[in-house]
Structure 1
Amino acid sequence: MATTKRGPGNNTGASFSDLNQLNDISMDTDYNEICGMTEREIIDNFSYELKN
């Protein structure tokens, strides 16, 4: 089993297969405010682009 390391001898304990099984929370409503922009932020920052 391969592991990732941060510098000599600092084994993080995470295997490459563990990293292939991460959960994508970017579209989960419980986490959407920390993973991207809220609807209010999109409207406030991109109102011109949304109209055109």
Structure 2
Amino acid sequence: MTIVALIQIARNKQLNLFNSILLALIVVILPFFGSLFYFLFQKRIKLVVSS
């Protein structure tokens, strides 16, 4: 789950470099909860970043 989240974060073109690094750090530091957070709020993160 962590690896998939990191790959999706890296491939996400809507996130800028800072947000990608921040999300990746959260996923690496808290693997289960960070991945769960990313997958649950993935669409909301994209909406906020694209606005």
Q: Same fold (TM over 0.5)?
A: no
From the CA coordinates, give the structure whose radius of gyration is larger: 1
Normalised TM-score (structure 1): 0.23
Of structures 1 and 2, the one with the larger relative CO (CA 8 A, separation 6+) is 2
Normalised TM-score (structure 2): 0.23
Which structure dedicates a bigger proportion of its chain to strand? 1
